[in-house]
Amino acid sequence: MRVARQVTKRRAKDEAASHASAGGGKVVARAKTRTNDPDRTKANIIEIATHEFSEKGLSGARIDEIAERTRTSKRMIYYYFESKEGLYRAVLEDSYRRIRTIEASLDLENKPPLEALAQHVRFTFDYQLGNQEFIRLVMVENIHHGQHIAQLSRTQQEGMGAIETLRNIVERGIEAGVMRKDLDPIDLHMSISALSFFNVANRHTFSTIFKVDMTTPAATAARRESVADMILRFVAP
């Protein structure tokens, strides 16, 4: 009954799309080969969805559009993630997991405390600068009052190692007499994050209002040093 109607929508769409272009109209669009590899399929969906959600927010992103850019179909999104929110949660979780992994890979414990701190600050600054999708997702999630990250399991929301890293650095710094004694790692982390975050997060409104371009290499470098400087002065005894 249904089989008979199998005229394949995709084909019809492609035809229409290529209709206005060159006559020969090779159907170029994504081949969408059947993977039969769940992990790859899921990873592909998450990758595209990460981009879409970070670009347009949770409400602004469109499942249809995500599916379109995916190697699979809309149906598979629901197959694996149940709902738009389910997909968004998976995206969130994946993004946080990635940053955790990367943070853990840094080795700062063997460097002199001030140097380690400076490096940590610069790394944080650069990571956020280089991972704007992540920054934007965090903004999106905060617009939604953090209700989705709150739904992730304890392990999935697990605090990043940054605090521990900082605690170690601060302890060594105090011991070495190069940092003051009343530093709180969480407070310090908040400052570092805040200073790094703002540059990506508020870039658009800030540059429009103050008529400055925050994206030039020079501006970026200057800002990075200003931030590092601010933190170093802050911890000084």
Partner DNA sequence: CATGAATGAGGATTCATTCAT
Partner DNA sequence: TATGAATGAATCCTCATTCAT
User: With binding defined as CB under 7 A, does residue 143 bind DNA?
Assistant: no
User: With binding defined as CB under 7 A, does residue 19 bind DNA?
Assistant: no
User: With binding defined as CB under 8 A, does residue 99 bind a second copy?
Assistant: no
Amino acid at 70: T
Kind and range of the H or E run holding 70: none
> Are 196 and 125 spatial neighbours (Cβ–Cβ below 8 Å)?
yes
Site for a second copy in 74-93 (CB under 8 A): 80-82, 86, 89-90, 93
Q: Where are the alpha helices (DSSP H) in the chain?
A: 9-19, 38-60, 63-69, 74-81, 84-105, 113-130, 132-143, 154-157, 162-175, 185-201, 203-210, 217-235
Query: Using N-to-C axis directions, what is the helix angle for 185-201 and 132-143, rounded to 10°?
Result: 100
Task: Please identify, among the stretches 8-16, 104-112, 154-162, 219-227, the one whose residues bind DNA according to the rule CB under 7 A.
Answer: 8-16
How far apart (Å, rounded) are the C-alpha atoms in residues 120 and 79? 40
User: With binding defined as CB under 8 A, does residue 138 bind a second copy?
Assistant: yes
Token pair 């990571």 is at which residue? Answer: 127
User: With binding defined as CB under 7 A, does residue 63 bind DNA?
Assistant: yes
Count residues contacting DNA (CB under 7 A)?
A: 33
How far apart (Å, rounded) are the C-alpha atoms in residues 202 and 227? 16
Q: Which partner, DNA, a second copy, none, binds residue 115 by CB below 5 to 8 Å per kind?
A: none
Q: Which partner, DNA, a second copy, none, binds residue 150 by CB below 5 to 8 Å per kind?
A: a second copy
- Tokens in use for 3? 């089989």
User: With binding defined as CB under 7 A, does residue 101 bind DNA?
Assistant: no
Cα separations in angstroms, 127 against 124, 174, 179: 5, 27, 25
Site for a second copy in 46-75 (CB under 8 A): 56-60
Choice between 85 and 164, CB closer to DNA: 85
User: With binding defined as CB under 7 A, does residue 76 bind DNA?
Assistant: yes
User: With binding defined as CB under 7 A, does residue 73 bind DNA?
Assistant: yes
Choice between 110 and 140, CB closer to a second copy: 140
Site for DNA in 175-194 (CB under 7 A): none
Q: Which partner, a second copy, DNA, none, binds residue 6 by CB below 5 to 8 Å per kind?
A: DNA
Least distance from a second copy to the Cβ atom of residue 122, Å: 16
How far apart (Å, rounded) are the C-alpha atoms in residues 130 and 19? 40
Point out which residues bind DNA (CB under 7 A).
1-3, 5-10, 26-27, 32, 34-38, 41, 61-64, 72-76, 78-79, 82-85
